[in-house]
Amino acid sequence: MSAVAGITSSPVNSAGNSSSLSKSTSTTTLPEDVVLASQEVQAKYDRPNINVGLLAGGTENWEDVTANDVDRYGFITKRSPPPHGRHQPSTHNSSLLHLHLLLRLNNMKVRAPAIVDYTPQLEPRRESMREVKWREMATRRVNEKTGMVTYHFEKTLKLIERTFKGIPDAWRASAWQSFLTTSARKKKNYIPDSDLEALYPKYIAEPSPHDTQIDLDVPRTIDSHVMFSARYRGGQRLLFRVLHAFSLHKSDMGYVQGMAPLAANLLCYYDETTCFIMLVRIFSTRHLGELYTVGFAGLMNAFEDLRVPLKTRKIGKKLEALKIEPSFYATKWYLTLFSYSVPFSTQLRIWDVFFLLGDDGLGVIHAAALTLLDSMRNTLVTADFETAMQQLTRFVDVQDPDLFMEVLEYEYNLFRSRKAQRTLSRKSSRLIAMG
């Protein structure tokens, strides 16, 4: 299927029903060969590592790595390509930087190509100031039973504005957890954190028919990060366990390859149990489950929504003339939330806004996709099929994440406006039909 090129899923669903808490822990008998295969894979992540004399998962791979060899997020910059590597140099003319500075501030689509032509300045002082502002917005909560401290952020216009500007990394884990937990508590099928924490070790003790595929994907998931670069150790062990548990919890969905980078990115901020909970929250509150349905019908519907704004744009008309469908280039964008497609720092900025505003649909993801297309406009409008496909599927080296998010906010507001107009039009049509 062209829509899911490069994304694999295991054809076997695990036993059980995750629709209720009681049923989600029950399993029927799996074929003996499936159980044995699962046990064999799990043993690789649990056995002692003979080479270093440590238990699997005891350490990450810090051999020949110093503090100067990694960036602030833990990606090894000297031994490997940039995080989510395999990208080509930008084909944009650097003179566009000078051009975009002369353009009107609100003309976002015109400014978009400058996203890849800007030389950013490190501004640690600005981040420190933002940390203070986020501390002032945070409400501290203490669990009386466990003593665990969490922080809540009230969804206000100020919070939305500051989230578009970027959550300070020191507050990112707390903010994401607050955003998703707030949305989850509004759902009828809400499962408290304590119940999910109790489920996690039970899932770890069960076999999963997806373990063989998970084991294949783990070592090639953000392997340029120090946590995930050692086979069967450190983050690879944690990543396997989280994906194993999630494949059992979401038995109707099982495991799909795009889930691996989502879990790996979360493990950069959370312990494995909290990572599992966050993954459950993302799929239950942020409409990702719709994209991963069997046959990927939800993903195809998302691409239909993306086509709507593209139809009236020069880029969209060009891609249509070249017969390039969104499924050819955007599948990875949507299923991995832009992992492997933009720098990690930019990906985090997209996640900031999506985790805050994604409870009402995929508008933020559509806006991010349109922003990437906007940034490629100068090349795409004159490209042939091969050049266009190379441009669309390459890593986009975003040099100005602030401008990227300005354009994304512009696209998001446009998308919401169009959606509201369509809803109003449908209501008017129904009223007219009713007489």
> pLDDT tens across 51-99, in order?
444 444 455 666 677 778 888 888 888 654 444 444 433 333 333 333 3
Q: Are residues 40 and 96 in the same domain?
A: no
Q: Are residues 232 and 264 in the same domain?
A: yes
Q: Are residues 355 and 261 in the same domain?
A: no
**What's the number of domains the chain is made of?**
2
pLDDT in tens, 145-154: 888 899 999 9
Tell me how crowded residue 79 is: count the other CB atoms within 10 A of its CB: 12
Which pLDDT does position 160 carry in this prediction? Answer: 97
Which pLDDT does position 59 carry in this prediction? Answer: 59
Q: Are residues 316 and 393 in the same domain?
A: yes
CA neighbor of 402 nearest in space, from 131, 178, 126: 126
Q: Is residue 277 part of a domain?
A: yes
Q: Are residues 273 and 323 in the same domain?
A: no
Q: Is residue 275 part of a domain?
A: yes
Q: Is residue 134 part of a domain?
A: no
CA distance 297 to 364: 20
Q: Are residues 215 and 278 in the same domain?
A: yes
Q: Is residue 145 part of a domain?
A: no
Q: Is residue 300 part of a domain?
A: no
CA distance 336 to 48: 32
CA distance 131 to 127: 6
Task: Look up the CATH number of the domain holding residue 218.
Answer: 1.10.8.270
Q: Are residues 109 and 34 in the same domain?
A: no
- List residues bridging with 337 in a β-sheet: none
Q: Are residues 205 and 68 in the same domain?
A: yes
Q: Are residues 67 and 96 in the same domain?
A: no
Q: Are residues 255 and 391 in the same domain?
A: no
Of 269, 285, 301, the residue that ends a domain is: 285
Q: Is residue 143 part of a domain?
A: no
Q: Are residues 384 and 345 in the same domain?
A: yes
Task: Look up the CATH number of the domain holding residue 390.
Answer: 1.10.472.80
Q: Are residues 268 and 321 in the same domain?
A: no
Of 238, 268, 285, the residue that ends a domain is: 285
Q: Is residue 361 part of a domain?
A: yes
Q: Which domain holds residue 407?
A: 91-119+312-435
The tens place of each residue's pLDDT in the chain, 435 residues long, gives 344 444 544 444 433 333 344 344 444 578 999 999 999 999 988 865 444 444 444 556 666 777 788 888 888 886 544 444 444 333 333 333 333 333 334 455 555 666 665 444 446 678 889 999 999 999 999 988 888 899 999 999 999 999 999 999 999 999 999 999 999 999 998 999 999 999 999 999 999 999 999 999 999 998 888 888 888 888 899 999 999 999 999 999 999 989 999 999 999 999 999 999 999 999 999 999 999 988 899 999 999 999 999 999 999 999 999 999 999 999 999 999 999 999 999 999 999 999 999 998 999 999 999 999 999 999 999 999 999 999 999 999 998 999 999 999 999 999 888 877 776 666 666 666 665
Q: Is residue 319 part of a domain?
A: yes
